[in-house]
């Protein structure tokens, strides 16, 4: 068995399946011990020269009975044992998925997708293999091996000593190489992680690779990564093949010795000159020799299983170590003790001397002493140069990162003292990276709300000025958007994300540069819908164009991580140099294009 922090409780949960499987295995092992006995008796009976049909028929019926019991038992233990191991795999995968949902953005910045996918696939499969097939090998190696050796000793202890030689060698050999095999397996998995990372990154950025005609360069780079993966696999396989080959050779040599010496002992006994070894006279009949060979044949599987067990256990321990490391990863963004639940949110937002730096660069402040207050129901615009901190400021509203307590409030409640779920339920967020699932347009829009209806989805699509576009699709709202929305244009993907956020019906809505890919007419429609449909609810529009926030109640102007100004558009023209410059540049751009 494989024991560890995150797997032990599954043995308690599925103990009944393991118990039934072990009992079925023991029953099969016990019954098949009679097969060599009956075959030996049949040989001795035939060798006696006086064949009785009734006796032969009785032995055949018993052999058929043994076959039936073995068939039924094997069917039962396969169903229960492999069923339990697959349930353990499914349970661990569920735990890992839930863990992945709780981990913060910082964890994913420092951990590559390929590594995580490797833990979810090959490592879990290795653990499943050992908890199922490994348990089978443990039971058979112990129970069947011991029973067979006892029967062999009772038949002839001298011959049994020859048979025990491979068992001893296998145990010693397996103990020596187990840690080495685990190390090789871990190295192999790390190289596989790198291969997965490289492939995932290239498939994601395939359009960029093609645009810059870098296919050949990436193929050569992939070949280098694949070569390292190949070398790690070959290194592991060489050890495994050497291990398995030596076991097979040992078993084959001992089997040849048993058949050779056994035949000599039988011949000597039948000719009246039995062999004496260690003061023991070996007196084997032909039937007993067949029985002994049958016993050794039964012993071959426990010996192979014992050898394979060491290799499999090494791999499983290495994989469980990687899975445990993931499940034990610290959750830095989580609910505080006695966290309160935000309820009946009105939409008042306050920042009090908020400073923030991303975990990877603690010395570089992205926000520096931000203090401002947004009243419930206000339509707020946020502008500033690239890198001024405007996106970060309102990303923090969703508690994607921790901030210093006492710096960020909703309705007067410190967000660090509120539950994550209630905070995120209160905010509908449209990020710059508008991710769409490979699903229908309807389900992509309805993702934000449980129990949505087609009417609700259509209303949200109209809010985002997307309804007409969708109805022009061949399958309308049932059109599949493709992976990451590949079948939709940039503007359509943005509007699906806006419709999704609107459907959430949250008291606070944040649009982070979410109309940059649409034309001016569509932008004006969406902004008009925001003013009418979101009236009385707090809405924040982060924009790179001043026109997008020109009709906001107030506008926040960010500059180098600080609030340069926070006032109405009219007053900003008087007090904010950054805002003045943005307005001037936009007017100049319109004149160049022939605008007014």
How far lies 158's CA from each of 4, 154, 252, 284, 289, in Å?
42, 10, 19, 11, 13
pLDDT band at 200 (very low <50, low <70, confident <90, very high): confident
Phi, psi values for residue 276, rounded to 5°: -115, 125
pLDDT, tens digit, for every residue of 121-160?
A: 888 988 998 899 888 888 888 888 888 888 888 887 877 8
Residues 42 and 286: their CA atoms lie apart, in Å, by 10
Q: Of residues 318 and 410, which shows the higher confidence score? A: 410
Tokens 């010996």 identify what position? 303
Give me the pLDDT at residue 590, please. 66
Rounded to 5°, the CA angle 18-24-26 comes to 100
How crowded is the C-beta side of 405, counted as CA atoms within 13 Å?
Answer: 6
Q: Is 561 helix (H, G, I), strand (E, B) or coil?
A: coil
User: What's the average model confidence in pLDDT over 477-496?
Assistant: 80
Q: Work out the end-to-end distance of the chain between its first and last CA atoms, rounded to an integer number of angstroms.
A: 77
Q: Are 284 and 311 in contact (CB under 8 A)?
A: no
Residues 6+ away with beta carbon under 8 Å from 311 = 174, 177, 178, 181, 240, 243, 244
pLDDT, tens digit, for every residue of 316-363?
A: 888 898 899 999 988 888 888 888 888 888 999 999 999 998 877 778
What residues form DSSP beta bridges with 408?
351
H/E run at residue 380: strand 379-384
CB neighbours of residue 269 within 10 Å: 19
For the ranges 67-71, 79-83, 310-314, which has the lowest average pLDDT? Answer: 310-314
Give me the pLDDT at residue 371, please. 92
Judge whether residue 87 has pLDDT over 90: yes
pLDDT, tens digit, for every residue of 95-129?
A: 999 898 888 888 887 787 777 888 888 889 889 98
How far lies 295's CA from each of 210, 291, 299, 415, in Å?
65, 6, 6, 71
User: What's the average model confidence in pLDDT over 169-192?
Assistant: 75
Q: Are 90 and 96 in contact (CB under 8 A)?
A: no
Judge whether residue 7 has pLDDT over 50: yes
Q: Are 222 and 202 in contact (CB under 8 A)?
A: yes
Give me the pLDDT at residue 360, please. 72
Give me the pLDDT at residue 593, please. 61
Give me the pLDDT at residue 313, please. 82
Judge whether residue 277 has pLDDT over 80: no
Q: Hey, where are the domains in the chain?
A: 8-327, 349-592
pLDDT, tens digit, for every residue of 570-591?
A: 898 889 888 888 888 877 766 6
Judge whether residue 17 has pLDDT over 50: yes
Residues 100 and 107: their CA atoms lie apart, in Å, by 9
Q: Are 63 and 38 in contact (CB under 8 A)?
A: yes
Judge whether residue 178 has pLDDT over 70: no
Give me the pLDDT at residue 486, please. 74
Q: Of residues 558 and 491, which shows the higher confidence score? A: 558
- pLDDT, mean over the chain: 84
pLDDT, tens digit, for every residue of 20-74?
A: 999 999 999 888 888 888 888 888 778 776 777 888 888 889 889 989 998 999 9
User: What's the average model confidence in pLDDT over 454-466?
Assistant: 90
Q: Are 442 and 457 in contact (CB under 8 A)?
A: yes
Give me the pLDDT at residue 1, please. 67
Judge whether residue 596 has pLDDT over 60: no
Of the candidates 435, 488, 499, 494, which has an alpha carbon nearest to the alpha carbon of residue 462? 499
For residue 411, give both structure tokens: 């309705």
pTM across the whole model: 0.73
Q: Of residues 166 and 225, which shows the higher confidence score? A: 225
Judge whether residue 170 has pLDDT over 90: no
Q: Is 63 helix (H, G, I), strand (E, B) or coil?
A: helix
Phi, psi values for residue 103, rounded to 5°: -70, 150
CATH superfamily of 8-327: ABC transporter type 1, transmembrane domain (1.20.1560.10)
Give me the pLDDT at residue 166, please. 67
User: What's the average model confidence in pLDDT over 189-217?
Assistant: 80
Q: Are 529 and 461 in contact (CB under 8 A)?
A: no
Of the candidates 252, 251, 253, 258, which has an alpha carbon nearest to the alpha carbon of residue 170? 251
User: What's the average model confidence in pLDDT over 170-177?
Assistant: 70
User: What's 349-592's CATH class?
Assistant: alpha beta
User: What's the average model confidence in pLDDT over 441-445?
Assistant: 88
The angle that helices 286-327 and 215-270 make with each other, rounded to 10 degrees, is 150
pLDDT, tens digit, for every residue of 354-397?
A: 999 887 777 888 999 999 999 999 999 999 888 888 888 888 88
Residues 142 and 187: their CA atoms lie apart, in Å, by 31
Residues 6+ away with beta carbon under 8 Å from 103 = 329, 331
Rounded to 5°, the CA angle 478-482-486 comes to 125
What residues form DSSP beta bridges with 453?
none
CB neighbours of residue 34 within 10 Å: 15
CB neighbours of residue 473 within 10 Å: 16
């Amino acid at each position: 068995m494989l024991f560890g922090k995150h797997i032990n409780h599954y043995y308690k949960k599925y103990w009944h399946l393991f118990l039934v499987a072990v009992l079925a295995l023991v029953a099969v092992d016990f019954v098949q011990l009679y097969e060599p006995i009956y075959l030996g008796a049949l040989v001795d009976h035939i060798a006696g020269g006086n064949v009785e049909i009734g006796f032969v028929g009785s032995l055949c019926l018993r052999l058929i009975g043994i076959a039936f019991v073995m068939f039924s038992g094997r069917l039962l233990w396969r169903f229960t044992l492999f069923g339990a191991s697959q349930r353990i795999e499914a349970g661990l995968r569920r735990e890992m998925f839930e863990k992945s949902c709780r981990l913060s953005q910082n964890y994913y910045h420092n951990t590559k997708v390929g590594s995580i996918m490797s833990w979810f696939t090959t490592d879990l499969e290795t653990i499943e293999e050992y908890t199922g097939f490994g348990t089978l090998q443990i039971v058979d190696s112990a129970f069947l091996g011991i029973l067979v050796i006892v029967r062999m000793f009772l038949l002839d202890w001298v011959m049994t000593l020859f048979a025990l030689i491979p068992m001893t060698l296998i145990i010693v050999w397996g103990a020596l190489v187990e840690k080495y095999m685990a190390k090789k397996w871990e190295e192999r998995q790390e190289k596989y992680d790198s291969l997965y990372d490289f492939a995932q990154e290239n498939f994601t950025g395939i359009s960029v690779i093609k645009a810059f005609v870098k296919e050949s360069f990436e193929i050569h780079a992939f070949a280098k990564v694949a070569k390292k993966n190949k070398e790690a696999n070959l290194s592991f396989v060489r050890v495994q093949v050497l291990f398995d080959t030596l076991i097979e050779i040992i078993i084959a040599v001992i089997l040849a010795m048993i058949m050779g010496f056994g035949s000599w002992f039988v011949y000597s006994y039948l000719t009246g000159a039995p062999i004496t070894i260690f003061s023991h006279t070996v007196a084997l009949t032909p039937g007993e020799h067949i029985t002994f060979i049958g016993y050794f044949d039964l012993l071959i599987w426990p010996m192979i299983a014992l050898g394979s067990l060491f290799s499999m256990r090494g791999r499983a321990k290495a994989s469980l170590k990687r899975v445990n490391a993931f499940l034990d990863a610290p959750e830095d963004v989580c609910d505080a003790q006695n966290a309160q639940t935000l309820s009946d949110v009105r939409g008042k937002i306050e920042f009090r001397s908020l400073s923030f730096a991303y975990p990877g660069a603690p010395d570089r402040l992205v926000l520096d002493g931000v203090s401002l207050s947004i009243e419930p129901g206000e339509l707020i615009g946020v502008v500033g140069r690239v890198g001024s901190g405007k996106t970060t400021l309102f990303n923090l509203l969703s508690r994607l990162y921790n901030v210093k307590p006492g710096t960020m409030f909703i309705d007067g409640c410190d967000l660090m003292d509120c539950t994550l779920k209630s905070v995120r339920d209160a905010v509908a967020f449209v990020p710059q990276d508008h991710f769409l699932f490979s699903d229908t347009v309807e389900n992509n829009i309805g993702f934000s709300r449980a129990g949505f209806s087609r009417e609700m989805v259509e209303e949200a699509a109209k809010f985002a000025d997307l309804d007409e576009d969708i109805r022009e699709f061949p399958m309308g709202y049932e059109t599949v958007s493709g992976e990451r929305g590949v079948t939709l244009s940039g503007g359509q993907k943005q509007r699906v994300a806006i419709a999704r956020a609107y459907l959430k019906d949250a008291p606070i809505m944040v649009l982070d540069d979410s109309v940059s890919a649409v034309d001016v007419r569509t932008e004006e429609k969406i902004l008009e819908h925001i003013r009418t449909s979101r009236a009385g609810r707090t809405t924040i529009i982060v924009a790179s164009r001043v026109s997008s926030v020109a009709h906001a109640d107030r506008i926040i102007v960010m500059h180098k991580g600080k609030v340069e100004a926070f006032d109405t558009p009219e007053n900003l023209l008087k007090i904010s140099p950054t805002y003045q410059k943005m307005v001037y540049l936009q007017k100049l751009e319109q004149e160049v294009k022939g605008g007014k």
